[in-house]
Chain A
Amino acid sequence: MYNFAYRCFYWQYKNLMLQKPSILYLAAIFLGGLVLLFLVAPLAGMVLSTTFPDLLSTAREADVTRSIWLTVWTSMLATVVFGLAAIPFSYLLARKSFPLKNLVKGIIDLPVVIPHSAAGIALLGFISRDSLVGKAASWVGIDFVGNPLGIALAMAFVSLPFLINAARDGFEAVPRRLERTAMALGASPARVFFTIALPLALRNIISGMIMMFGRGMSEFGAVVIIAYHPMITPVLIFERFGTFGLKYARPVAVIFIIVSLIVFILLRLLANKQKTNGGIR
């Protein structure tokens, strides 16, 4: 044991001496450590200050489980439905140049920079019962406000840029010559898209969808304005904090973080497996 510790120490020492650490390098390590600590410490503090029995009893509450399911499926719905529309659009952005393209790109990034409460208010005006869209929806019996569909819209609004930008990057990385070759081999533009561009950009697209899904799940500002009820978990956390205080809000927050992490890791693993399997055949 002693010997091992000594060797470790000696190895580290030798490395440091050999590399002749520069001030910049040391400063970067120090600052990086501070940043990491800043990210990890609050989360770790929250988890550590929550007892296991507290977690267990909170996890059994119907309100909590219901809100978590609602959060997961509304975000999933937003990702899939808007993904279907956004992926061909990303292809267009990657491949074609058209007038005002930079303006269009700017508009896509807009949801990232505007306050999400403001986004919620804008969206509320757009889909409320008095608006054109709201009226059209109410004819078919849908009322977005206070409805899971409204929640999905709010989530999509703030998270779409993540998918569009990732998919666009993915399509841009597909060499044009492969598409030209496919065309020369007799494939129609649609076939080129589905057999060449889409499979080759799939990794980026899936990664973008995971980002969009994750961002949608964590949305609070826009959702709370469209639909306070039914409650998604971020709203539930906010409500418990406002009504009962930190101690009661904490277990829900911890549970939601754990659920988010599990979903996130599972999706990532799935995406990686897709890659090693080699995509389509």
Chain B
Amino acid sequence: MLQLINIEKSFPGFRLHPVNLQIHQGEYYVLLGQSGAGKSLLLEIIAGITRPDHGRVMLDSKDISNQRINQRNIGVIFQDISLFPHMLVFDNIAYPMISRNIGKTEVRRRVDELSRALGVSHLINRKPDGLSGGESQRVALARVLATSPKLLLLDEPLTSLDVLRKDELIRLLKQLNQDGMTILHVTHEVDEALSLASHLAILHDGKLLQSGSPEAITRYPASPFVARLMEIKNCIEVIYQDAVGQYIAADNHAVVFHLPVNPGFRAGHLLIHQKHIRILEEPSAEKSFSATITDTSLTLHGLEITVDIGIPIVVQVPAEKLGPGKFLKGALIRLNFNLAQSRLIPIV
């Protein structure tokens, strides 16, 4: 339904490289990237606030590049929500309908319906300045839905919310999407992106690095950057050594990786997820590495240890292996890499 064709934009110090992307009807499209990647700029281009230097914006196969912002029928909620401070919540929600010359009774009916649907009907007679972040976000959603947009653009909608409100809003956004609203959501939070996206795209430094289903991107990141974004913590530069017939770490040639298959290129990045490294209880016949623990840190997924096998490696310790006095700094352990689960990306 929405198509960006070779969208380009340059500013002093920043360049949006030709961006091509396509959003289908009913999709929940998440654009993930760090701050300064150009996400908000892309959103502004789609909304019609900023004009691209080159390229076209197509909505339902119609070129809308030259349409004014108020004629595009695309709903936007900016990061700062921007409720009108001098109007009651009622008038905020009614605003787009009054712009379209809809009759008073119909406006009242729609405001009532939308405010109920978004759980803000008790706030109707209040001014926006006393509302919480979550309430403001819901009012902004009600207001933008009043325009019956073809596409909804959300710029970091969850950033100002606490954890509980975040979950609430995520459920609400999912519901909206299930009810048929096509959504383009911009964020820098990986968790948020993965929990919402039906299609994920990664923007970095003005370039679209990878796009696909969230499962595909987490499993097959196309670059070390995407891998790091997907929280794959071991991204090891390796080179192929003919003498050994194996790949060795570029930083320490004594570290050899026995890959099950040989992809056949000279140098690459070996991506090993921290949870795909096994900690061995006792010496075994398997090919294993001896490792010294250099650091430990607690994460939401459990304990993570950094070990030295000649190069630094991060390992996630499974819950059943934990116990008092285990995995202390300086301790010696043995590791086995499940290299069948690893991925080698060529350096081009």
- Chain A interface secondary structure, helix, strand, loop or mixed? helix
Residue A111 is within 8 A (CB to CB) of chain B in the complex: no
Q: What are 14 A-B residue pairs whose CB atoms fall within 8 Å in the complex? A: A177-B80, A178-B84, A180-B82, A181-B76, A183-B49, A184-B74, A184-B75, A185-B143, A185-B144, A185-B147, A186-B96, A187-B96, A278-B86, A279-B86
A180 — nearest CB in chain B belongs to which residue? B49
Question: Interface code A127-165, partner B: CB below 8 Å = 1, 0 otherwise?
Answer: 000000000000000000000000000000000000000
**B127 CB–A CB distance under 8 Å:** yes
Q: Contact at A183–B86, with CB atoms within 8 Å?
A: no
Judged by a CB distance under 8 angstroms, whether A3 is at the interface is no
Q: Which residues on B are within 8 Å of A, measured CB to CB?
A: 47-49, 68-71, 73-76, 78, 80, 82, 84-88, 91, 95-96, 99-100, 127, 143-144, 147
Report the 6 A-B pairs with minimum CB-CB distance, sorted nearest first.
A185-B96, A181-B82, A186-B99, A187-B99, A183-B69, A184-B76
Kindly supply a per-residue 1/0 record for chain A positions 253-281, scoring 1 wherever the CB is within 8 Å of any chain B CB and 0 otherwise: 00000000000000000000000001111
Measured CA separation A278–B86 after assembly (Å): 7
Indicate if the CB atoms of B144 and A280 lie closer than 8 Å.
no
Question: Which of B47, B85, B91 has the most C-beta atoms of chain A within 10 angstroms of its own C-beta?
Answer: B85
In the complex, the chain B residue whose C-beta lies closest to that of A280 is B86
Q: Are B86 and A200 in contact (CB under 8 A)?
A: yes
Question: Do A182 and B127 form a contact, CB below 8 Å, given A177-B78, A188-B99, A191-B99?
Answer: no
- Which of chain B's residues have a CB closer than 8 A to the CB of A280? 86-87
0/1 interface trace, chain A 185-196, chain B, CB 8 Å (1 if under): 111100100011
Interface residue range, chain A: 20 to 34
Give B210 Cβ to nearest chain A Cβ, in Å.
29
8 Å CB contact of B82 from A178, A187, A191, A279 = A178
B100 touches A196 (CB 8 A): no
Within A223-281, the residues touching B (CB, 8 Å) are: 278-281
Across the interface, name the chain B residue whose C-beta is closest to A179.
B82
Shortest CB-to-CB span from B69 to chain A, Å, is 5
Q: Which one of A185, A199, A281 contacts B95 once the chains associate, using CB atoms below 8 Å?
A: A185
Q: Report the bound CA distance from A96 to B189 in whole Å.
A: 36
Q: Which of A177, A186, A196 contacts B70 (CB 8 A)?
A: A186
Q: Kindly state the separation between the CA atoms of A181 and B95 in the bound complex, as whole angstroms.
A: 11
What is A's interface to B at a CB cutoff of 8 Å? 175, 177-178, 180-188, 191, 195-196, 199-200, 278-281
| Partner pick for B85 among A180, A188, A191, A200, CB 8 A cutoff | A200
The smallest C-beta distance from B187 to any residue of chain A, in angstroms, reads 19
Whether A181 lies near B78 (C-beta < 8 A) is yes
CB distance from B88 to the nearest CB of A (A): 7
Across-interface contacts of A187 in B (CB, < 8 A): 70, 95-96, 99
Are B80's CB and A188's CB within 8 A? no
Question: How long is the Cα–Cα vector from A183 to B82 in the complex, in angstroms?
Answer: 12
**CB–CB A196/B84 < 8 A:** yes
Complex-state Cα separation, A188 to B98, whole angstroms: 11
In the complex formed, the residue of B with least CB distance to A192 is B70
Return B20 CB to nearest CB of chain A, in Å.
24
Q: Which of B47, B80, B87, B100 contacts A184 (CB 8 A)?
A: B47
User: Given that A184-B47, A184-B49, A186-B147 are contacting pairs, would A199 and B100 also be in contact in the complex, using a CB cutoff of 8 Å?
Assistant: no
Q: A183-B49, A186-B147 are in contact. List 18 more A-B contacts (CB 8 A).
A: A175-B82, A177-B78, A180-B78, A181-B76, A181-B78, A184-B70, A184-B75, A185-B95, A185-B143, A186-B71, A186-B73, A187-B96, A195-B95, A200-B85, A279-B86, A280-B86, A280-B87, A281-B87
Tell me, in angstroms, the Cα distance from A32 to B64 when the chains sit together. Answer: 62
Contacts of A177 in B (CB 8 A): 78, 80, 82
Within the complex, the shortest CB–CB distance from B302 to chain A, in Å, comes to 42
Q: What is the bound-complex CA distance between A188 and B87, given in angstroms?
A: 18
Give bound CA distance, A75 to B144, whole Å.
45
Among A175, A178, A183, chain B packs the most CB atoms within 10 A around the CB of: A183
Instruction: Look across to chain A and name the residue whose beta carbon is closest to the beta carbon of B91.
Output: A281
Question: A180-B78, A187-B99 known; A278 and B84 CB under 8 Å?
Answer: no
Chain A residues within an 8 Å CB radius of B70: 183-188
Quote the shortest CB–CB distance from A224 to chain B (angstroms): 43
A158 to chain B, nearest CB (A): 33
